[in-house]
Structure 1
């Protein structure tokens, strides 16, 4: 049942860190460094057992069983990974003399089964693509039926693998290949998914604004019995942005170790307003742009059909896009340099090879640091973009946000550098952040076809002209035009409104409109969308001084105004020492205090 005021459960993820630990039996406090060491022993046991199990199951028969979804008695496999592994007899092997609780075995098998089930799709795709691969030309023939069709980007990646294998084999015809013949077993991540266990291994309680996790941890690297597994009670704070949220259930976290120590990757279930795709008569279309992360425009449905003011909104990434491009170029440069040194080290003398390997290790560490920094910026950019678009949709009264289908969206025709830069943009992360943020206010996010959204007119569905260059669009027939990204946003919003009756949704995915329908969108001068905020810069020139005159200095001289900057807006300047914003600038010492100090000396 849906309607105004109804709610629906949804899961979300967050991270936190413990700030206190005590022994559950004695109540004695334990240092966080000791907790990190004991968690590291647990992760070592899980990682070693998982790697051994994956290498033992890296066979075509394993993926045949997972593709069929049936056990040896023709029974359907359970959804839970540890239950399916137990039925199939896929159990990890631990070193001799090491005691590991059965619940830890559950964690290992659940993580391994999740990895193998994900790779089962890749195994089927490699089999289909290798059958159509020609080693002489290095080309994969088009699919015969829809069953063998895979995304083009995925197909190109598999094609590169097949070409590399063909070169190593001398160009001999390969025929049908399996994933086990093309690549080796994947590496297992050092983490412990406690959600696969029960209360015998871990339990979570919430008291006020604190999360209390009680978990069994080993007291030595190789525990020999149950006595060397003791319960530890960890306490962490609930993040401030979750205070006051209607959280109905808190789930067991995933434990990982990073450079700062133990990190909890938690999940929770909360109640959010029920969103109905059929409600509402306005939609916001979000177009991914090569120059910025995205732009939006609004289309509304009324008695006279579809209408739009063709005035969109462009996201301002606050300069983070330029920083990401610089970090991307730096990471690629480090990768090329490390690859070149690796080739040189292969034929170098032993003493030279040792020095080169040291340099390669340093380059790899720097490249990893660049990747971590890019990941943090991408996350910040994605959620900031999601909040801006959600606020724009709320102000416009829209109940639907239409985004381009990323599976059919490829960047071409902009040059090698720009294509690569746009391809590595965090669009999928931005879609996930947008879906999360919009669902919290009752707005539905739906994916629509991307083809032709920037090239066709929303009114007559004819190709648009480019009188002002790439970023300009104009339709001489409908007499409408503007920024090409805003025109694309109108097209995307139109497709969402026309195809919402035929939208489909798969578990864990967004609602999708598969067919792009057309209806004329007339230009309307009515007020449908919000007026975008345009912060005005402070006027520095020809302005009166706002500070007192210096004492003991020529009366005609005043304290000079601060230097003009793009960060100087009408918004109040954050206080000194505020590290919560990237836009914070440290203020210079006032000239009056400097003059007074000089006078006192």
Structure 2
């Protein structure tokens, strides 16, 4: 970026693992296995305290206070969660005799307050829906004003919960309205994580030098610390991922500590400088249509000053079979879930010996289902970032400054059959849209969401309904004599709405850009090519003029098979080795392993 080019600041996230740990006071090395145990003790204290706090605050008065945004003295609540919790008197309770620093309490109250603030919106929506719910018919009446509108998927979920509550209680109790979130839902489960972003330098410090990140954090030395001497600072050293080397990072944020099957994982965040995109000055836009046949299709529309033009020839993303693999894994996970549920029903009335056998089988099924979920998560991540990279390159080649995507809150797969609805729902479109926003910001392209209704059913020229002469995937307009692939036509309409409504674009509190009203502008089909040609794998030329030599009789010639095309998995580089580093996984800690403490702490 040049000095005169406008810049913007964009936060992003990445993960890494420590390869060395030492005691910050004595300098003695700590084995990574012992480090995992000490982190587990910290996570147990945080998880237990946050669970107790959420359970104690799970009452309507808590959400009334958060909805009002005022404390007992009528003062506005602070934005920071731990400050608001301290003013409201929300303090977690630890087991008797356990000493926990005040900075760890700050981490607990900050996340608990953020969770309750998020659920305050659901509480208001559930109260509105329950007031319009009829227990006799099981239906929810239509909203009377715009303030009562909620997404249809959320309304269906609340309706199922209201029906379940109606079956559990009698008619007189079910007729009491309005209900609150505490009446139909239980307190949320707490994930074992230590979000250090709410802490200060007394608990954690972060230093980044070149390609190395050093985190100093206080960890307990025992499962139940009784004093300050049982909390010691540990200095963790981790390597930055190669793709962050040389990036214009302006600020590194404290990470989140979590444990997985491989040990301690650092979920980090940072802020970098990127080119600032100008939505109002954009003359070329790329529309991205979420297609049921593929993850997405793109097309280019250009504003020439005399009107909008497009060649109506787009680009369809090829996931190279990853979508089929995701659908297969989802079907397998659903099968394991149904089988485990059936075994649970059988175990309720089975003899003790048979019940023990069934519980063992259920545990195996649950482990397999969790493993499938982990595998789906990895495939989804590779798929979404590969898609974002392809679309961002397509927009950069077309010199576009705007990428228009469908508003996912108005897009829902229905009436396409159970199998196709599941396949469309599990395609991780929200995560793909977030990955596209993240990737496009690096090249100065703004991603804006536009209304999705009618994008694939209306003509981009005359805005009249299209016909389907060749089936579902084709579109044709008899008046304008234009048409082609249904997804490409929808992408043209989305790009048109972005260019026509760019003056009315709004930026939400989360930082995303939205155009909430669809404005039509006629698009002329031009004979000139406006979009770039997607790169395709080139095949080796074969000379047809040379006569192929015949092999001798009785000799079997080995055929040369071309190597398969590289997949997205080949883009993952191996972890950097750190030879001679004390405390790595290859060198176990010398101290005896500590005993697990899960479930040993009891609240009184």
**1:170 CA drift (Å):** 4.2
CA distance in 1: counterparts of 2:239 and 2:277, whole angstroms: 31
In the alignment, is residue 92 of structure 1 matched against residue 92 of structure 2?
Answer: yes
Task: Name the counterpart of 2:195.
Answer: 193
**1:417 CA drift (Å):** 1.1
Q: Secondary structure at the match of 1:421?
A: helix
In the alignment, is residue 129 of structure 1 matched against residue 129 of structure 2?
Answer: yes
Task: Name the counterpart of 2:35.
Answer: 35
**Residues 291 and 170 (structure 1), Cα distance of their counterparts in 2 relative to 1, 3 Å cut:** farther
Task: Name the counterpart of 2:519.
Answer: 517
**1:339 CA drift (Å):** 1.0
TM-score (norm 1): 0.91
Task: Name the counterpart of 2:586.
Answer: none
CA contact (8 A) 1:280 1:399 kept: yes
CA distance in 1: counterparts of 2:304 and 2:3, whole angstroms: 21
Find 2:351's aligned residue among 330, 349, 352: 349
In the alignment, is residue 273 of structure 1 matched against residue 275 of structure 2?
Answer: yes
In the alignment, is residue 150 of structure 1 matched against residue 150 of structure 2?
Answer: yes
CA contact (8 A) 1:166 1:174 kept: no
Task: Name the counterpart of 1:386.
Answer: 388
Structure with larger RCO (C-alpha < 8 A, sep 6+)? 2
1:181-580, aligned counterparts within 5 Å?
181-537=183-539, 557=555, 559-563=557-561, 568=564, 580=570
Task: Name the counterpart of 2:22.
Answer: 22
1:321-357 Cα shifts (integer Å, max 9, x gaps): 0000000100111111111111111121221111111
CA contact (8 A) 1:473 1:483 kept: yes
Task: Name the counterpart of 2:575.
Answer: none
Q: Secondary structure at the match of 2:530?
A: coil
**1:280 CA drift (Å):** 2.2
**Greater mean alpha carbon deviation, residues 304-313 or residues 335-344:** 335-344
**1:224 CA drift (Å):** 0.7
1:29-74 Cα shifts (integer Å, max 9, x gaps): 1101111000000000000000000000001000000111110011
**1:207 CA drift (Å):** 1.5
1:269-312 Cα shifts (integer Å, max 9, x gaps): 10000111112210000000111100000111012201100000
CA distance in 2: counterparts of 1:230 and 1:348, whole angstroms: 50
**1:563 CA drift (Å):** 4.1
Task: Name the counterpart of 1:69.
Answer: 69
CA distance in 1: counterparts of 2:537 and 2:252, whole angstroms: 41
1:241-273 Cα shifts (integer Å, max 9, x gaps): 101100011000000000000000000010000
CA distance in 2: counterparts of 1:544 and 1:270, whole angstroms: 57
Task: Name the counterpart of 1:594.
Answer: none
In the alignment, is residue 110 of structure 1 matched against residue 100 of structure 2?
Answer: no
1:518-569 Cα shifts (integer Å, max 9, x gaps): 11100012232101223244579989899x99xxx959957432347xx646
Q: Secondary structure at the match of 2:90?
A: coil
CA contact (8 A) 1:133 1:139 kept: yes
CA contact (8 A) 2:382 2:569 kept: no
CA contact (8 A) 2:340 2:366 kept: yes
Q: Secondary structure at the match of 2:506?
A: coil
Task: Name the counterpart of 2:601.
Answer: none
**Residues 475 and 119 (structure 1), Cα distance of their counterparts in 2 relative to 1, 3 Å cut:** same
1:84-133 Cα shifts (integer Å, max 9, x gaps): 00000000011111110000000000111111111111111100000000
CA distance in 2: counterparts of 1:63 and 1:213, whole angstroms: 36
CA contact (8 A) 2:277 2:444 kept: yes
**Residues 19 and 461 (structure 1), Cα distance of their counterparts in 2 relative to 1, 3 Å cut:** same
Q: What's the C-alpha RMSD, in Å, of the aligned pairs?
A: 2.3
**Residues 105 and 538 (structure 1), Cα distance of their counterparts in 2 relative to 1, 3 Å cut:** same
**Residues 537 and 80 (structure 1), Cα distance of their counterparts in 2 relative to 1, 3 Å cut:** same
CA contact (8 A) 1:127 1:178 kept: yes
CA distance in 2: counterparts of 1:98 and 1:542, whole angstroms: 83
CA distance in 1: counterparts of 2:488 and 2:4, whole angstroms: 31
CA distance in 1: counterparts of 2:204 and 2:288, whole angstroms: 43
**Residues 541 and 126 (structure 1), Cα distance of their counterparts in 2 relative to 1, 3 Å cut:** farther
TM-score (norm 2): 0.91
CA contact (8 A) 1:3 1:274 kept: no
* Structure 2 gap ranges (5+): 573-604
CA contact (8 A) 1:287 1:488 kept: yes
**Residues 545 and 110 (structure 1), Cα distance of their counterparts in 2 relative to 1, 3 Å cut:** farther
CA distance in 2: counterparts of 1:437 and 1:51, whole angstroms: 36
* Structure 1 gap ranges (5+): 583-601
CA distance in 1: counterparts of 2:561 and 2:163, whole angstroms: 58
CA contact (8 A) 1:130 1:174 kept: no
